[in-house]
Structure 1
């Protein structure tokens, strides 16, 4: 096996010292690069507004105000906008799985006619910048073809574009390709149809990759700002990311930063809870027969 450092070098005392020294330095550098922004954000929410505006800034708050977080929660009415965010993300996530799982299963195992052409057209959409698709997508949700429905200020305006995610379909299809067809043939012999095969065979084996796709979708939807801002002009319907930007000019800086910290906590918590599933899905590439 070829590596950057020869095994013979690693067996020498000097080689091990250099290797571990560089590894520790690199890990510390990356850790500091990630922790410093989190530290500034968290401590910024505990400072007073005059201290936040001071130049040069204070690295440690002169007076700690942890109550800023409770004040931000109450005064900014964050519970309402957290609820809006959960509705938008939960609906988009469920609808996305309902669309992406069958689509990936069909392209991988049912192999329809012109399936490769369909997959190629889907992948082409990944090469188009999101800003280029903004106006066509807006015109589509403002007057849905065939139905003639206006979805502006409706959660479906966020759900439908999020469900049509070519990247997630491609990732799921690649994972489904690794599942042996012998399992599907055995299910067909037992009388299972395509839907039963997907539900009873494919999905239970695909929990790691479904977890990865779910986390990627949820994090992308939680961070999304431009699309909810465009299709949800009614302030009462907006998610927390849009709401905090809207009130930025009229809110004290320390409460605004405290609100941003609170808005970031769910994503961090989701990663910490599901990190094992995420790593399992990223490293899953084959199945034992």
Structure 2
């Protein structure tokens, strides 16, 4: 029995050509070099954070630590009160995920399956907003945070601005819409015949079929919120509300450089672990939604 042809850019038949094999080897070496360039700064921060204080300041620096001071991690965690900042980040992340999935998911369902009159024009406007630079709306957005329209509420020192911004994400709407387009209309029509409302169809039929894209969007949102700095820094002035990234920035002048490296390691590790554990779902979500990189 012949072996199946491998998928991808270069298949098994093409690899029989010496020129193609050379090209394949060159591409692999380039990708390995690119991965090393991307990974090295994070690895350097994490490894350097474990060095003894004398070795940390040694010149020239050592590539690999000669001594490991594991106790520094516990002392830094307790001294910098990272559990509180982790909890704050978890609250902000949880609300952002909930708002992102609820509102953007419903918007994707609206544009994909409901399609009322005028929805095509509205969807075009949503896509066009992806072309606008982020800096265009920063000033009016901050003004709305200080004085929320109609209600005249000051949302400074609350997580509501980040949650509301997560609720309107054109990229996520496009991902949801592309995924929902692949769901057969016959399933939705059968549910409507059984008496389900439009929201009932979304909750009982669409969502159970959308686990891959939901997991993908959830991971993307968690990673984006965890690393977000600008808006939390602008909005969260009370230290009791600081997230991890904001806390590190605001306290950097009070921390020695070795503790700063440890704090940065605390920031880097969770997103890395999240991606390593769920990278398969990320790839599946993009594949099933039809979004091409």
Q: TM-score, normalised by structure 2?
A: 0.89
Q: Report the counterpart of residue 26 of structure 2 in structure 1.
A: 22
Q: Report the counterpart of residue 146 of structure 2 in structure 1.
A: 142
Contact 1:10 1:19 in 2 (8 A): no
Output aligned runs, 1:151-170, within 5 Å. Answer: 151-170=155-174
Count of residue pairs the alignment pairs up: 284
Q: Report the counterpart of residue 16 of structure 2 in structure 1.
A: 11
Q: Report the counterpart of residue 263 of structure 1 in structure 2.
A: 267
Q: 1:206 aligns to what SS in structure 2?
A: helix
Cα distance in 2 for residues equivalent to 1:246 and 1:68: 21
Cα distance in 2 for residues equivalent to 1:270 and 1:108: 30
Contact 1:88 1:158 in 2 (8 A): yes
Name stretches of at least 5 consecutive residues in structure 2 with no aligned partner.
none
Q: Report the counterpart of residue 129 of structure 2 in structure 1.
A: 125
Cα distance in 2 for residues equivalent to 1:196 and 1:58: 61
CA deviation profile, 1:215-238 (whole Å, cap 9, x unmatched): 111111111101001111112211
Question: How has the CA–CA distance of structure 1 residues 54 and 97 changed in structure 2, closer, same or farther, with 3 Å as cutoff?
Answer: same
Q: 1:174 aligns to what SS in structure 2?
A: helix
Q: Report the counterpart of residue 250 of structure 1 in structure 2.
A: 254
Q: 2:96 aligns with which of 73, 89, 92?
A: 92
Cα distance in 2 for residues equivalent to 1:74 and 1:112: 55
Q: Report the counterpart of residue 69 of structure 2 in structure 1.
A: 65
Contact 1:52 1:254 in 2 (8 A): yes
RMSD: 2.3
Q: Report the counterpart of residue 83 of structure 2 in structure 1.
A: 79
Question: How has the CA–CA distance of structure 1 residues 16 and 146 changed in structure 2, closer, same or farther, with 3 Å as cutoff?
Answer: closer
Contact 2:175 2:289 in 1 (8 A): no
Which one is further off, 238-247 or 50-59?
Answer: 50-59
Q: TM-score, normalised by structure 1?
A: 0.90
Contact 1:71 1:255 in 2 (8 A): no
Question: How has the CA–CA distance of structure 1 residues 157 and 23 changed in structure 2, closer, same or farther, with 3 Å as cutoff?
Answer: closer
* Deviation >4 Å, runs of 4+: 3-9
Question: How has the CA–CA distance of structure 1 residues 79 and 273 changed in structure 2, closer, same or farther, with 3 Å as cutoff?
Answer: same
Q: 1:275 aligns with which of 250, 274, 279?
A: 279
Q: Report the counterpart of residue 203 of structure 1 in structure 2.
A: 207
1:116 offset after TM fit, Å? 1.5
